[in-house]
Amino acid sequence: MPFEKVQPEKLAAAVVRQIEKLILRGILRPGERLPSERELSEKLGVSRPSLREAVAELHERGLLESRAGAGIFVTDVLGSAFSEALVRLFANHDEAVFDYLSFRRDMEGLAAQRAAQYGTETDLKVIDELMTKMEAAHGKRNPAEEARLDADFHLAIIEASHNVIMLHMMRSMYQLLREGVFYNRQIMFKQRTTRESLLEQHQAINAALQARDAEAARVAVERHLGYVEAALTADRKAERNELIARQRLEREINR
């Protein structure tokens, strides 16, 4: 019969599996630098040759990359879920913007519900600390910083949901959002009344999560993204009305 003796797992294979899991779970992030060879071998309790063998295999799998004089990094694969042609299509059509928000409302509502149920104390502490930073940025009237922290806050909730497929998919989508593919979040944070509402909405989300109220967390996220959609709809309408007014004025001048 085709049975073979069971062989002990090579140390390099064990290292590969551990680093793969850290990348899969989002603990090692795209673009993040690994510790030095000496430090990493000590942390893992393996020899340098075993570590080099593992790193070489992860290189071949496209998960790690070496940068001359800088070290070894997790490959930056964010945004790879969408082709460049599709990204350009997203950027040029409002339909994609509102479908994106609808998708986020569904996914992030679920993520918030799961985060309240399954998030660790460390997960919730990270979210709470980001909320504190958002409040500080709000007090300084720094829309760029508020917009950045807004993305970090939502991604921290997705990370706390402990669903690896959702995590990597939403990271790709948030990278496009950071690049302004869907809409410019900084514009929203420059408007005083909008800024106040957004802060209150984020505080409501955080409060529900810290209380581990799964249903309240889901509803708070859905209300927040519903507000964002309504604000964008109003902005688009105002832009169209302004364009129509300019066109009418030009026609009157040319008569």
Q: Which amino acid is at 63?
A: L
Give the tens place of pLDDT for each residue, 190-230.
Answer: 777 788 999 999 999 999 999 999 999 999 999 999 999 98
Give the tens place of pLDDT for each residue, 175-191.
Answer: 888 777 777 777 777 77
**What is the gyration radius of the CA atoms in the chain, in angstroms?**
23
Name the nearest CA neighbour of 205 among 102, 134, 143.
Answer: 134
pLDDT tier for residue 8 given thresholds of 50, 70 and 90 = low
Tell me the average pLDDT of the chain.
Answer: 86
The more confidently predicted of residues 77 and 42 is: 42
DSSP string across 142-210: -HHHHHHHHHHHHHHHHHHTT-HHHHHHHHHHHHHHHTTSS--HHHHHHSHHHHHHHHHHHHHHHHHHH
Q: Which of 82-96, 119-133, 195-209 has the lowest mean pLDDT?
A: 82-96
